[in-house]
Amino acid sequence: MNVESKVLAELTEDGYSSGEAISHKLNITRSAVWKHIVKLRERGYVIEALPRHGYRLAGRPDKLLPAEIVPLIDTQFIGEKIVYFEKTGSTTDAARKLISEGAPEGTVVIADEQTKGRGRLGRTWQTPAGKAIAISVILYPRLPPSRISLLSLATALAVKKALVEVLGEKAETEPHPGAPAGAHPGSLIGLKWPNDIYAGGKKLGGVLVEMAAELDRVQWAIVSLGLNVNNPVSGTSLEDKATSLLQELGHEVSRLELVTAFLRELDKVYRRFIEDRDLGAISHEFEKSDILQGHKVEVDTPGGVVIGVASGIDADGRLRVREPGGGVKVMFSGEATLAGSWPHS
């Protein structure tokens, strides 16, 4: 936790904290305390100052600031360093620059507004200011490139778990009427291979993994998440294929709670990569939320379109599709869509 976050942690909404007491506890000068108070005010915190009493926290900004995130995560790898942007083109691009500067593993890049975000296959992903989540995490996994797709599945799992943690029973509602019968029964939130998060039969967000690798080893990976939270989708060009938590639940959801829950869950699942090496279990766990499982799908691959019934994910994170003749094709990458009433993502 940096000094600014420590100063913030000493402020309460219930009473005043003296500058002298804060300086003594944190072993900094009273002048340094004041400078950090000024910086916190610039970031949107409302801090009252009363002579001979000290400082009182009177209001917090609705922003995903490091000083807000750090006290709420207790992780081993993720969040060692958090870089915040009020506005940026792409958190992934910012993360790549940080890697070139020697950023440690677990560095988190987060933006309140993202203007040039992107998803798979070159698609754009907009993150309106103060409404959605755009976040990237730098990792140095000791994995062969062939298994990097599991990192995408694992990250999607972390998102699902975070949503269930924050939403509680609201995440366990009946399927949306537009969904095929039996697709993610009993749960609002579903996952679609290889990287999509769905809610109510529409795309809620997505995971993007970029990497640099040698023949037998991944040098670095950036896992990025874009998630629609409090941004309205109805009435826009995306309403037929995308949704947001606001759209599904009818009320706003705390972005801070979602981000901190996601970082905690990602830390847990990533430890399974580097410590337990139990990678096959991730595929099995992903299948429990897989909206494609058991349904007719069309998969657009570099080798052509494959049509059949989705039959789960193998230990390397590849999609299995049973073709009409009974044979099973296994795909490392591709664009899968349900051959039913759900729209293309």
pLDDT in tens, 211-242: 999 888 899 999 999 999 999 877 666 677 88
Q: Say if residue 45 is in the same domain as residue 121.
A: no
pLDDT for 178: 44
For residues 111 and 230, give the distance between their C-alpha atoms in angstroms, rounded to a whole number.
Answer: 15
In this structure, what token pair is assigned to residue 175?
């399927």
- In this prediction, residues 335-342 reach a mean pLDDT of 68
Beta bridge partners of 283: none
Confidence of residue 9 (pLDDT cuts 50, 70, 90): confident
- With H, G, I as helix, E, B as strand and everything else as coil, classify residue 125: strand
Domain membership flag for residue 344: no
Q: Say if residue 75 is in the same domain as residue 213.
A: yes
Cβ-proximal residues to 126 (8 Å cutoff; 6+ apart), any chain: 114, 115, 117
Nearest to 159 by CA among 75, 109, 69, 226: 226
Domain membership flag for residue 343: no
Residue 44 has pLDDT above 60, yes or no: yes
311-323 burial, b if ≥16 CB within 10 A, otherwise e?
Answer: bbbeebbbbbbee
Q: Mean pLDDT in the chain?
A: 85
End-to-end CA distance of the chain: 39
Beta bridge partners of 181: none
Q: Say if residue 325 is in the same domain as residue 246.
A: no
Cβ-proximal residues to 302 (8 Å cutoff; 6+ apart), any chain: 333, 334
Q: Say if residue 23 is in the same domain as residue 156.
A: no
44 versus 109: which is more confidently predicted?
Answer: 109
Total count of domains within the chain = 3
Q: Say if residue 302 is in the same domain as residue 283.
A: no
Residue 177 has pLDDT above 60, yes or no: no
Instruction: Please identify, among 44, 59, 74, the residue that sits at the C-terminal boundary of a domain.
Output: 59
- With H, G, I as helix, E, B as strand and everything else as coil, classify residue 186: coil
pLDDT for 185: 44
Q: Say if residue 105 is in the same domain as residue 214.
A: yes
Contact 77, 106 (CB under 8 A): yes
Q: Of the ranges 31-35, 182-186, 270-274, 323-327, which one carries the lowest mean pLDDT score?
A: 182-186
- What CATH number corresponds to the domain at position 321? 2.30.30.100
- E runs forming strands in 193-280: 196-199, 202-213, 218-227
71-85 residue pLDDT tens: 899 899 899 899 999
pLDDT for 263: 97
Residue 342 has pLDDT above 60, yes or no: no
pLDDT for 184: 43
Instruction: Please identify, among 59, 83, 106, the residue that sits at the C-terminal boundary of a domain.
Output: 59
Q: Say if residue 122 is in the same domain as residue 171.
A: yes
For residues 278 and 270, give the distance between their C-alpha atoms in angstroms, rounded to a whole number.
Answer: 11
Q: Say if residue 8 is in the same domain as residue 120.
A: no
- In this prediction, residues 44-63 reach a mean pLDDT of 90
Q: Say if residue 217 is in the same domain as residue 332.
A: no
Residue 329's alpha-carbon distances to 159, 192, 195, 216, 344, in angstroms, are 28, 18, 19, 25, 21
Domain hosting 124: range is 66-287
Q: Say if residue 223 is in the same domain as residue 321.
A: no
Q: Say if residue 134 is in the same domain as residue 241.
A: yes
- In this prediction, residues 124-143 reach a mean pLDDT of 86
Domain membership flag for residue 345: no
pLDDT for 47: 95
- What CATH number corresponds to the domain at position 51? 1.10.10.10
Instruction: Please identify, among 244, 259, 287, the residue that sits at the C-terminal boundary of a domain.
Output: 287
Domain membership flag for residue 21: yes
- What CATH number corresponds to the domain at position 167? 3.30.930.10
Domain membership flag for residue 230: yes
Residue 341 has pLDDT above 60, yes or no: no
Q: Say if residue 104 is in the same domain as residue 124.
A: yes
Give the strand pairing for 108-111 and 82-85: parallel
250-278 residue pLDDT tens: 999 999 999 999 999 999 988 887 776 66
